Amino acid sequence: MISYCIACYRPAYCRHLIDQLVEKTTAAYEILLWINLLDEAFETFLRSKADAGASIRIVGRTPENIGMSAYPKLFASARFDMVTQIDDDVVCISPCIAERAQEVFDRFPEIGMLAADTWQDEYTTGARPAMQHYRVFNLEFGLYDGPIDGWFSIYRRTSLTVCGDLNPGRYYSLGSHIKARLVSMGQKGLLCKRLKVFHVTGPFYADYFGSLDSEIAKYSAIGRQDMVDWYHHARPDIPSPKSLAARIDQIRASMVQRP
């Protein structure tokens, strides 16, 4: 059983994410949302999903984007033994994620956190560093030790006690901080390549989803001029929408079968 926690402020992405969670989850689940936007079309979408039977619960709302500070509130509202921190720009997931994660947690009691692997191609890393930065923990279960964050991270509910005194701001590497706390207590946070997601990072896919300008504004607001320059200077090289749509179809097709 799994609780999905999402701070929603980019509805263009969130619709895809919620559709994927509902479609591909084959275990008992709940989707917990903190709404950081005013968008009646998105509210209508949520009502339609709930009316169709999706287990969606809105934990809180703020008119402004409170970002990562929403997650401790979402975690505290979760009912199930596995609690998932998800960035709202994850737009595709592999099936049977809950079952795969449960297999790992049952086999390795020392693991308190699993981060899903990300789709990577010439347009995106999905925010995951190159595999040269990881070392094998267990090949059978696709487990690797190395840098992870909360793009799609599943925690044992009991492991989240380590973040009780964390006070994340709007932009905060909550997942990596929780991993560090777990490691300090003798537990592990690992990358799991049997779990796969498409995490929209980089200017090319952001443009396809209509979010390029908002991403530039976000990075400008937090002083990440390197990211602003990357996104801005990439504009002339962005492939056509038709080309990117074909690639996204390929990504979605790759995440139909269990990895």
Residue 113, pLDDT above cutoff 60: yes
Pick 257 or 59 by higher pLDDT. Answer: 59
Across the chain, mean pLDDT equals 93
What are 200-255's pLDDT values in tens digits? Answer: 999 999 999 999 998 999 888 888 999 999 999 999 999 999 999 999 999 999 99
* Contacts within 8 Å (CB) and 24+ apart, 242-251: 244/123, 244/204, 244/205, 244/207, 244/208, 245/208, 247/121, 247/123, 248/198, 248/205, 248/208, 251/92, 251/119, 251/198
Q: Locate 77 and state its tokens.
A: 């509202």
pLDDT score of 170: 79
Q: Which domains does the chain have, with CATH numbers?
A: 2-254 (3.90.550.10)
Asked whether the beta carbons of 255 and 196 are under 8 A apart, the reply is: yes
What are 8-43's pLDDT values in tens digits? Answer: 999 989 999 999 999 999 999 999 999 988 889 999
CA atoms within 13 A on the CB side of 189: 28
What are 135-170's pLDDT values in tens digits? Answer: 999 999 999 999 999 899 999 999 998 877 887 877
Q: What 3-state DSSP class applies to 111?
A: strand
Dist. CA 153–CA 199, nearest whole Å: 12
pLDDT score of 253: 94
Portion of the chain with pLDDT greater than 70, in percent: 99
* DSSP H or E stretch at residue 177: helix 174-184
Confidence of residue 259 (pLDDT cuts 50, 70, 90): low
